[in-house]
């Protein structure tokens, strides 16, 4: 304890020297009051008096109640009762309840030393009232601190719960966003695939239609050529009457038969296409396209067989078109 007080005095002395160098009189007066109180507790009354009298030299616009209180205690300890009574009573106007507690207690002790027991009891009662007030204030302060701590912990708990809820909502939103992104990628991929299949189907259909048109044009051209040859043969037959006429007649009949075969083949194709449109597989594909029904593998095979029959296009091309086309209605455009 002695070492602690010595250290305190050393720091007080350094602080006093700094206040003197900087010319801070108010700070110096406060430090001298603290040093005087410490010297008083150590029993070094002369040094205590010297510090306190130095503190009294600056009393303008400064709270003097601490200095008066320490001086009163010092004179009470040294049995200078009149001086103690003077300085202690100067502290009765202090608004600080803690200062009043010490002042009432010391005035009670002072009155007891002077033999004025009535006044001693009076100040002791005042001191007890102040102590009760301090206890109430302390209790209220503790309650306030406990309430503040409870409210703080409650807010922290609510903030923690709110943070967890926000984190949960963020995580859910991230998951939904990720799921939406995956679904979007899948939809885009399916749409792209469907578009490619559609484009391929349209291109294949165009090729089939082009091939069919070319076949039709070739058959028409062949019939025209045959008719031209027939007219030439008839002209030759009308001019010459020998054995060569028999050969021309045969060639003429062959050309006529060839024309008939071309016409019959075209008629057969048209009839078989009409038969395809009236078939069950044709109706099934059209109903599936409108109602969204599932088409099985056997249906594709049946359609391939039906499709090859009424066409003069190569079976491989027809079958490949039927297998790759998801646009069933496009199959029956031609």
Q: What are 325's two structure tokens? A: 């086309």
Rounded distance between C-alpha atoms, residue 326 and residue 191, angstroms: 13
Class of domain 2-138: mainly alpha
Closest CA to 134 of 88, 102, 175, 171: 102
Q: Where are the beta strands (DSSP E) in 102-199?
A: none
Asked whether the beta carbons of 284 and 299 are under 8 A apart, the reply is yes
Closest CA to 263 of 309, 210, 219: 219
Length reported for the chain:
334
Rounded distance between C-alpha atoms, residue 190 and residue 27, angstroms: 84
Per-residue pLDDT tens digits of the chain, which is 334 residues long: 555 666 777 888 888 788 778 877 778 888 888 888 888 888 888 888 888 888 887 766 778 888 888 888 888 888 888 988 998 888 888 888 888 888 899 889 988 988 888 988 998 999 898 888 888 888 777 778 887 887 888 888 889 888 989 999 999 999 999 999 999 999 999 988 888 877 886 787 678 778 778 877 877 787 787 777 777 766 766 665 554 556 656 666 676 767 777 777 777 777 777 766 677 766 666 666 556 566 666 766 666 665 554 444 444 444 444 444 444 434 443 4
Rounded distance between C-alpha atoms, residue 196 and residue 5, angstroms: 95
Q: Where do you find CATH 1.25.40.10 in the chain? A: 2-138
What is the b/e burial string over 23-57, where b = at least 16 CB atoms within 10 angstroms of the residue's CB?
A: eeeebbbbbbbbbbbbbbeeeeeebbbebbebbee
The pLDDT tens digits for 262-299 are: 777 777 777 777 766 677 766 666 666 556 566 666 76
Closest CA to 266 of 209, 214, 215, 205: 215
The pLDDT tens digits for 207-255 are: 877 877 887 787 778 778 777 777 776 676 666 555 455 665 666 667 6
């Amino acid at each position: 304890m002695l070492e602690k007080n010595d250290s305190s005095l050393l720091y007080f002395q350094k602080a006093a020297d700094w206040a003197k160098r900087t010319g801070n009189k108010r700070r110096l007066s406060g430090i001298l009051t603290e040093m005087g109180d410490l010297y008083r507790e150590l029993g070094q009354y002369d040094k205590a008096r010297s510090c306190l009298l130095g503190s009294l030299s600056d009393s303008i616009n400064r709270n003097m109640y601490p200095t008066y209180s320490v001086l009163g205690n010092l004179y009470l300890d040294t049995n200078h009762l009149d001086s103690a009574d003077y300085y202690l009573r100067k502290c009765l106007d202090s608004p600080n309840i803690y200062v009043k507690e010490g002042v009432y207690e010391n005035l009670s002790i002072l009155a007891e030393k002077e033999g004025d027991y009535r006044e001693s009891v009076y100040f002791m009662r005042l001191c007890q009232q102040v102590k009760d007030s301090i206890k109430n204030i302390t209790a209220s302060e503790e309650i306030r601190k406990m309430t503040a701590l409870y409210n703080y912990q409650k807010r922290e708990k609510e903030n923690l719960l709110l943070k967890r809820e926000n984190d949960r909502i963020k995580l859910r939103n991230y998951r939904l966003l990720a799921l939406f992104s995956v679904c979007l990628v899948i939809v885009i991929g399916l749409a792209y695939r469907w578009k490619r299949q559609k484009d391929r189907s349209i291109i294949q259909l165009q090729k089939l239609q082009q091939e069919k048109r070319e076949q039709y044009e070739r058959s028409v051209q062949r019939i025209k050529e045959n008719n031209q040859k027939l007219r030439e043969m008839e002209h030759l037959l009308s001019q010459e009457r020998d054995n060569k006429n028999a050969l021309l007649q045969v060639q003429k009949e062959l050309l006529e038969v060839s024309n008939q075969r071309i016409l019959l083949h075209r008629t057969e194709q048209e009839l078989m296409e009409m038969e395809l449109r009236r078939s069950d597989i044709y109706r099934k594909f059209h109903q599936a396209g409108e109602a969204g029904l599932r088409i099985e593998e056997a249906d594709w095979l049946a359609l391939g067989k039906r499709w090859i029959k009424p066409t003069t296009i190569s079976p491989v091309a027809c079958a490949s078109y039927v297998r790759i086309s998801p646009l069933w209605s496009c199959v029956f455009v031609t």
